[in-house]
Amino acid sequence: MLPQASPAETSSPLAFSVRDAVVEYDRRPVLRGVSLDVRQGEVVAVLGANGSGKSTLLRAMLGLVPLAGGEVSVRGVPLRRFRDWGRIGYVPQRLSAGGGVPSTVREVVTSGRINRLRRFLPPSAADRAAVDDALASVGLGDRAGDSVHELSGGQQQRVLIARALAGGPDVFVMDEPMAGVDAANQQALARTIEGLSNRGATVVLVLHELGPLEPLIRRSVTLDHGVIAHDGAPPRPEGDCARPGHDHVHPHADADRTPAAVPVIEVSRRD
Amino acid sequence: MIELLQYDFMVRALIAAALVGLAAPVIGVFIVQRRLALLGDGIGHVALTGVGLGFLTGNSPVLTALVVAVVGAVLIELVRVHTRTSGDLALALLFYGGIAGGVFLTGLAPGASTATLTSFLFGSVSTVDQQDVYVVAVLAAAVLAVLAYFGRELFVLCQDEEVARAHGLPVRFLGMVIAVVAAVTVVIAMRVVGALLVSALMVVPVAAAQQLTRSFRVTTGLAMLIGVLSALTGLSAAFYTDTAPGSSIVLIAIAVFAVASGAGAVLRARRGRRSGAGRDARAEPMADTISATDPGSIST
């Protein structure tokens, strides 16, 4: 039984449960009592204007910002006691510059397996395979040896997604993964995310617009001034799966299992 | 060059310098990436109070400096974490207090003079004794071991602290590891390079190496090589010119940086021309890229 996030399947366990979350920056409320349940296997888009609290909600769900009120639990465990971080893949809004010490695409993507790498030992064959798969599925297989600082913004965005993929999590939290990515690569990333979803992964992502992800997203949460203004089917100009050539595959997999490997998805190479 | 090795004190100083040159850039690569390039400076100032305390109490100044530097580093890290801003003013107070305390306590100590303190400020060729070499060797090994143990976690932390937290890494603890290891490195380097210049040996070899490299691993290795070469040649130059070794070591490291940034510019231009024909023909918009919005604490 694979959760497909259809309204009928409300029985799968919760990936995230947010209760009355309040977040303040310097006493200025950014989230003002947000409650949200995300079930395992759901793909949820978080929408809203700039400053509506989208990113803050995502960060609160991962405990990256302190809550001034309310609570968050991940997989049924209060955030404070949650330890199974290897199952969560976080894609931040952009690659942080740091102090400018160069690192290669492969080094950054390999660091996504921090919870799996063995101390003092070089990455194992399984580690390297997972990194190769992650790079291939974002179309950066041939840039592994390049410095991430030499890449364009869209390519850096794909490195961040590959880093999250490499850890083999089954819950993805992505903060504007499409920002700065050109149209062709947005399509490719949409296919990657669809592949993840087909394998039962939970995906929560902040988006500016649904774009190429539209066929995949059945639930969107719209924030307005720190409260949820809408939670349900996204505004949609056409019916579900009405797109010509849309072939929605529902493989039968054990929903409780972490995807054994990152799916390799053929994407059009821009290079 | 060979005649240098006929002096026991010089052999000891060279061993100590090589160890410092090896260890300092390794912690340096993390503090540069974490934008704490001046952390070593601050710790160096604080360590001086430890030196003064050693003179006053008749203990080994290196050991008292070690204790005071570690305590100072922990305080600096706590200020940094809890103020969320850079904690500018609090840090400045700590730094000035550290150097003033060092001068004051040394002044109180019988037999110690400003000249004695100067050897700790800018390094000294002739005052490294056998015990110092042992202390430096043990501490350098400890620094390298700790960084090898936590290296991958520190890489994630220094790339992006939020991502490190989302991986469940103990971010506060790892930040403390960096601060304490930096403090230990400062104390190791103090005898040879001097407390006021030690930070340069952490930062400058890294700044030089990153002009030429694309990977974190190679940057670290190259920075270590530059660190060892600058330390050894600088110390030898100090012997012949009868100057404080800290100054010549740092000047040589900066010269290497200048050469490396020139070579790096040529290298990047050539790389750009080669790839310009093919892969960047359909370059994506550069908006939001790192290089466009954020040059980092050290310009590349």
Q: What is the CATH number of the domain that holds A152?
A: 3.40.50.300
Distance CA A210, CA A236 (A): 9
The total of structural domains in chain A comes to 1
Could you give all domains of chain B from N- to C-terminal order, each with its CATH number?
A: 3-283 (1.10.3470.10)
Determine, yes or no, domain membership for A22: no
**Per-residue tens of pLDDT for chain A, all 271 residues:** 444 444 435 678 899 999 999 999 888 889 999 999 999 999 999 999 888 899 999 999 999 999 999 999 999 999 989 999 999 999 998 888 778 899 999 999 999 999 888 888 889 999 999 999 999 988 899 999 999 988 888 889 899 999 999 999 999 999 998 887 888 888 888 888 898 899 899 999 999 888 888 888 889 999 999 999 889 888 755 444 444 444 444 333 333 433 444 444 433 333 3
B214, B224, B271, best to mutate vs chain A, most A CBs in 10 Å = B214
Please, which pLDDT band fits residue B287 given cuts at 50, 70 and 90?
very low
Determine, yes or no, domain membership for A34: no
Q: Which residues of chain A have a CB within 8 Å of the CB of B154?
A: none
According to DSSP, the β-strands at A171-175 and A202-206 are parallel
CB contact under 8 A, B288 and A117: no
DSSP string, B80-131: HHHHSS--HHHHHHHHHHHHHHHHHHHHHSTT--HHHHHHHHH--STT--HH
ipTM of the complex: 0.84
CB contact under 8 A, B286 and A152: yes
Using one digit for the tens of pLDDT, what is the confidence trace for B70-89?
999 999 888 888 876 556 77
Distance CA B210, CA B257 (A): 9
Distance CA B298, CA B300 (A): 6
Distance CA B279, CA B57 (A): 66
Tell me, yes or no, if A81 comes closer than 8 A to chain B by beta carbon: no
Alpha-carbon distance values, A188 to A31, A94, A100, B30, B175 (Å): 33, 19, 29, 34, 37
Residue A236, pLDDT score:
58
3-state DSSP assignment of residue A223: strand
Listed by number, the residues of chain A in 229-258 with a beta carbon closer than 8 Å to a beta carbon of chain B are none
Determine, yes or no, domain membership for A80: no
- The answer, yes or no, to whether residue B292 has pLDDT greater than 80, is no
Find out whether A46 and A54 touch, Cβ atoms under 8 Å.
yes
Determine, yes or no, domain membership for A50: yes
Domain that holds residue A228: 43-56+86-232
Tell me, yes or no, if A151 comes closer than 8 A to chain B by beta carbon: yes
pTM of the model: 0.84
Using one digit for the tens of pLDDT, what is the confidence trace for B77-130?
888 888 765 567 777 888 899 999 998 998 888 877 777 788 888 888 777 888
How close does chain B come to A186, measured CA to CA in Å?
Answer: 12
Facing residue for B214 by CB, picked from A102, A117, A152: A102
Distance CA B230, CA A218 (A): 61
Determine, yes or no, domain membership for A227: yes
Q: Which residues of chain A have a CB within 8 Å of the CB of B293?
A: 97
Q: Which residues of chain A have a CB within 8 Å of the CB of B31?
A: 99
Determine, yes or no, domain membership for A195: yes
Residue A259, pLDDT score:
40
